[in-house]
Amino acid sequence: MQFELSSIIPKAIADRPSVMQSDIWGLKINFSKGKNIKITAPSGTGKTTLVNILYGLNKNYTGQLLYNQKDLATITPAELSNLRQIHWSIVFQDLKLFPAITARENIELKRTMQKPVVASSEMEQMAKMLGIDSILNQPAGICSYGEQQRIAIVRALMQPFDFLILDEPFSHLDINNKKKAAQLIQRECEKRGAGIIITDLDKDEYFDYQENLKL
Amino acid sequence: MFNSLLKKLILKQSGKTKIWIARGGLGIAIFLLLTAIQIQSNYDFLLNNQTNKDSIGDFLVINKMLNNETIGNTEIDSSLILKLKEQSFTESIGILTPSRFKASIQSISDRFPFYTDISFESVPDSFIDIRNINFSWKPDADFVPVIVPNMFLDIYNFQFSISQNLPQLSPEIVKMIVFKITVYGNRGPVQFNAKIVGFSDRIASMLVPTQFIEWGNQYADTKESNSVSRLVIKTKDPSDPSIARFLMENQLNTNNEKLRFSKYRKIIDTVVSIAGFTGLIMLAFSLLIFTLFIQLNIANSKEEIGLLIILGASPNQLSRFLFRHFFPGNLISILAGIFLVSLLQFLLQQLLQTQAILIPAFISNTTLISGIVLIALLWYITVKTIKKYIYW
What is the DSSP-derived secondary structure letter of residue B223?
P
Probe site for chain B from A98, A158, A162 (most B CB atoms < 10 A): A98
Q: How far apart are CA B123 and CA B130, in angstroms?
A: 13
Q: Which residues of chain A make contact with B317, given a CB cutoff of 8 A?
A: 81, 113
Question: So what's the pLDDT on residue A93?
Answer: 92
Q: How far apart are CA B244 and CA B89, in angstroms?
A: 11
Q: For residues B215 and B43, is the Cβ–Cβ distance under 8 A?
A: no
Average pLDDT over residues B98-119: 86
Give the model confidence (pLDDT) of B319-344 as tens digits: 999 899 889 988 999 999 999 999 99
Q: Is the pLDDT assigned to residue B98 strictly greater than 50?
A: yes
Question: So what's the pLDDT on residue B212?
Answer: 92
Q: Which residues of chain B make contact with A110, given a CB cutoff of 8 A?
A: 311-312
Question: So what's the pLDDT on residue B273?
Answer: 87
Average pLDDT over residues B294-299: 84
Q: How do the pLDDT tens digits run along chain A, 215 residues long?
A: 899 999 999 988 888 887 888 888 889 999 999 899 999 988 878 889 999 999 999 999 999 999 999 999 889 999 999 999 999 999 999 999 999 999 999 999 999 999 999 999 999 999 999 999 999 999 999 999 999 999 999 999 999 999 999 999 998 999 999 999 999 999 999 999 999 999 988 888 888 888 888 88
Question: So what's the pLDDT on residue B55?
Answer: 45
Q: Which residue of B has its CA nearest to A110?
A: B311
Q: Which residues of chain B make contact with A57, given a CB cutoff of 8 A?
A: 310
> 3-state SS of chain A?
CEEEEEEEEEHHHCCCHHHHHCCCCCCEEEEECCCEEEEECCCCCCHHHHHHHHCCCCCCEEEEEEECCEECCCCCHHHHHHHHHHHEEEECCCCCCCCCCEHHHHHHHHHCCCCCCCCHHHHHHHHHHCCCHHHCCCEHHHCCHHHHHHHHHHHHCCCCCCEEEEECCCCCCCHHHHHHHHHHHHHHHHHHCCEEEEEECCCCCCCCCCEEEEC
Mean pLDDT of chain B: 85
Report the residue from B2, B9, B316 with minimal CB separation from A112. B2
Domain positions in chain A: 2-214
ipTM of this predicted structure: 0.93
More reliable by pLDDT, B385 or B131:
B385
Question: So what's the pLDDT on residue A123?
Answer: 94
Confidence of residue B23 (pLDDT cuts 50, 70, 90): confident
Question: So what's the pLDDT on residue B336?
Answer: 93
The CA-based angle A153-A154-A156, given to 5 degrees, is 65
Average pLDDT over residues B281-292: 85
- Distance in Å, alpha carbon of A34 to nearest chain B alpha carbon: 22
Report the residue from A81, A112, A159 with minimal CB separation from B314. A81
Nearest residue to B291 via CA among B322, B318, B267: B322
Q: How far is CA B243 from the centre of its chain?
A: 13
How far is the CA of B184 from the CAs of A165, B180, B212, B218, B221, in angstroms? Answer: 118, 13, 13, 11, 10
Q: Which residues contact A211 (CB under 8 A, 6 or more apart)?
A: A35, A36, A37, A38
Q: For residues B228 and B76, is the Cβ–Cβ distance under 8 A?
A: yes
Give the model confidence (pLDDT) of B354-366 as tens digits: 887 788 899 999 9
Give the domain A2-214 fold.
Rossmann fold (3.40.50)
Say which range, B111-115, B122-126, B175-179, has the weakest mean pLDDT. B111-115
Report the residue from A78, A100, A105 with minimal CB separation from B316. A78
The domain defined by B57-96+229-254 carries CATH number 3.40.50? no
Question: So what's the pLDDT on residue B392?
Answer: 52
Question: So what's the pLDDT on residue B299?
Answer: 85
Please tell me whether residue B182 adopts helix, strand or coil conformation: strand
Q: How far is CA A187 from the centre of its chain?
A: 15
Nearest residue to B229 via CA among B73, B111, B338, B82: B73
Whether residue A96 and residue B311 make contact (CB cut-off 8 A), yes or no, is yes
Q: How far apart are CA B154 and CA B360, in angstroms?
A: 34
Q: Is the pLDDT assigned to residue B70 strictly greater than 80?
A: no
- % of chain B at pLDDT higher than 70: 92
Report the residue from A96, A108, A159 with minimal CB separation from B307. A96
Confidence of residue B48 (pLDDT cuts 50, 70, 90): low
Confidence of residue B103 (pLDDT cuts 50, 70, 90): very high
Q: For residues B338 and A104, is the Cβ–Cβ distance under 8 A?
A: no
Work out the number of other CB atoms within 10 angstroms of the CB of residue B148.
19
Question: So what's the pLDDT on residue B309?
Answer: 92
Q: Which residues of chain A make contact with B7, given a CB cutoff of 8 A?
A: none
Q: Which residues of chain B make contact with A162, given a CB cutoff of 8 A?
A: none
Interface residue ranges in chain A relative to chain B, Cβ cutoff 8 Å: 57, 77-78, 81-82, 84-85, 96, 98, 100-101, 105, 108-110, 112-114, 159
Probe site for chain A from B303, B314, B392 (most A CB atoms < 10 A): B314
Q: Which residue of A has its CA nearest to B309?
A: A81
Q: How far apart are CA B11 and CA B299, in angstroms?
A: 11
Instruction: Give the end-to-end CA distance of chain B in Å, rounded to a whole number.
Output: 26
Q: For residues B348 and B357, is the Cβ–Cβ distance under 8 A?
A: no
Q: Is the pLDDT assigned to residue B56 strictly greater than 60?
A: no
Q: How far apart are CA B199 and CA B152, in angstroms?
A: 9
Whether residue A81 and residue B310 make contact (CB cut-off 8 A), yes or no, is no
Q: For residues A154 and A126, is the Cβ–Cβ distance under 8 A?
A: yes
| Range with the largest mean pLDDT of A151-160, B64-73, B161-170, B311-320 | A151-160
Give the model confidence (pLDDT) of B174-229 as tens digits: 888 899 999 998 888 999 999 999 998 888 889 999 999 988 888 887 665 667 88
Q: Is the dihedral of CA A178, A180, A185, A186 positive or negative?
A: positive
Interface residue ranges in chain B relative to chain A, Cβ cutoff 8 Å: 1-2, 5, 8-9, 304, 307-317, 391
Domain positions in chain B: 2-52+262-390, 57-96+229-254, 98-227
- % of chain B at pLDDT higher than 90: 24
Q: Which residue of B has its CA nearest to A56?
A: B310
Question: So what's the pLDDT on residue B222?
Answer: 67
Say which range, A126-130, B69-73, B83-87, B379-383, has the weakest mean pLDDT. B69-73
Q: How far apart are CA A154 and CA A138, in angstroms?
A: 15
Nearest residue to A105 via CA among A134, A149, A142, A140: A140
